[in-house]
Amino acid sequence: MRIDIITLFPELLISPFEASIVKRAIEGKKVDVVFHNLRDYTVSKHKQVDDAPFGGGAGMVMMIEPIDKCITKLKAERSYDEIIYMTPDGEQLNQKISNECSLMQNIILLCGHYKGVDQRVRDHFITREISIGDFVLSGGELAAAVFCDSIIRLIPGVLGNESSALSDSYQDNLLAPPIYTRPANYNGWEVPEILTSGNTPAVDLWREEQAFERTQKLRPDLLED
Ligand code: ADE
């Protein structure tokens, strides 16, 4: 998989790709992540990337031309499954979308800033719009990093034990059950006895029940459909 990220602030995107599972996936060539600085695609002397909105109002709007130049160049080099705009008014990210996108070959992520991008970018280049939640970030970079992390760990072969992604929260519309590790007794706080019983079917059943109870208590909406 290849992910091209178009951004005004590539420095905001560095560390999420330099540690842990995501770093390993990049080193193992399961995914290639390439940053494109929009300022490199500006045409004006002052490297202008934004301008005042037509019709007036507060804030600046990201101009179409540098974005067009960057996306057009990328599209000439390969074909893309999706050109995604990270925006708080997009479709809300969930595990189903991450699963779907983890199977794609090439995607572009466009990170917005200021008031956002000229609507014509959304109308003519963007194929999908994704929000990571009902709150507004200063720009799309952190949202893009969150989205990338959620899909990269799902790329086949990235997690050592494939089943560990399958047992994540949300993978089956259930929250994950509680987990414990040694010591079995810490200051008198004991691990549920069943987990040290060695009875695997009983442990599996207990985990299912716990997952269901947790979901019912904390996220009953997940059980509705
Ligand atoms: N850009 C700013 N806020 C965002 C959000 N919540 N999701 C995706 N992109 C964003």
Distance of CA 94 to the CA centre of its chain: 9
Distance between Cα 93 and ligand 1 center (Å):
10
Task: Give how many domains the chain has, as a whole number.
Answer: 2
Report the share of the chain in percent with pLDDT over 70. Answer: 99
Range of the domain at 129: 2-152
| Residue 163: inside a domain | no
Question: Which pLDDT belongs to residue 108?
Answer: 99
User: What is the pairing mode between strands 185-186 and 50-51?
Assistant: unpaired
Question: Which pLDDT belongs to residue 168?
Answer: 84
Which atom of ligand 1 is nearest the CA belonging to 136?
3
The 10 Å Cβ neighbour count of residue 204 is: 10
Query: Residue 151 to residues 8, 45, 104, 106, 179: CA-CA distances in angstroms?
Result: 22, 38, 10, 12, 23
| Residue 76: inside a domain | yes
Query: Are residue 38 and residue 121 in the same domain, yes or no?
Result: yes
Peptide bond into 201 cis (omega under 30): no
Task: List % helix, strand, coil for the chain (3-state, nearest 5).
Answer: 40, 20, 40
Show which of 120, 152, 184 is a domain's final residue: 152
Amino acid at 12: L
The 10s digit of each residue's pLDDT in 129-170 is: 999 999 999 999 999 999 999 999 999 999 977 667 877 888
Average pLDDT taken over every residue of the chain: 96
Query: Are residue 106 and residue 9 in the same domain, yes or no?
Result: yes
Show which of 152, 177, 212 is a domain's final residue: 152
Mutate to test the pocket of ligand 1, among 131, 134, 138 (most ligand atoms within 8 A of CB): 131
Query: Are residue 131 and residue 181 in the same domain, yes or no?
Result: no
Query: Are residue 80 and residue 128 in the same domain, yes or no?
Result: yes
CA distance 45 to 47: 6
Q: Domain with 204 in it: what CATH number?
A: 1.10.1270.20
Q: Is 112 in the pocket of ligand 1 (CB under 6 A)?
A: yes
Q: Is 137 in the pocket of ligand 1 (CB under 6 A)?
A: yes
Q: Domain with 31 in it: what CATH number?
A: 3.40.1280.10
Question: Which pLDDT belongs to residue 52?
Answer: 97
Distance between Cα 193 and ligand 1 center (Å):
43
| Residue 162: inside a domain | no
Measuring from atom 10 of ligand 1, which residue has the nearest CA?
Answer: 87
| Residue 64: inside a domain | yes
Query: Are residue 87 and residue 188 in the same domain, yes or no?
Result: no
Burial of 189 (0-12, 13-18, 19+ CB in 10 A): exposed
Query: Are residue 33 and residue 74 in the same domain, yes or no?
Result: yes
Distance of CA 157 to the CA centre of its chain: 18
Query: Residue 3 to residues 53, 85, 153: CA-CA distances in angstroms?
Result: 30, 13, 14
Amino acid at 189: W
Query: Are residue 19 and residue 127 in the same domain, yes or no?
Result: yes
The 10s digit of each residue's pLDDT in 50-108 is: 999 999 999 999 999 999 999 999 999 999 999 999 999 999 999 999 999 999 999 99
Measuring from atom 6 of ligand 1, which residue has the nearest CA?
Answer: 88
Query: Are residue 173 and residue 62 in the same domain, yes or no?
Result: no
| Residue 45: inside a domain | yes
Query: Are residue 128 and residue 193 in the same domain, yes or no?
Result: no
Query: Are residue 118 and residue 25 in the same domain, yes or no?
Result: yes
Pair 1, 105: CB distance under 8 Å: yes
Question: Which pLDDT belongs to residue 89?
Answer: 96
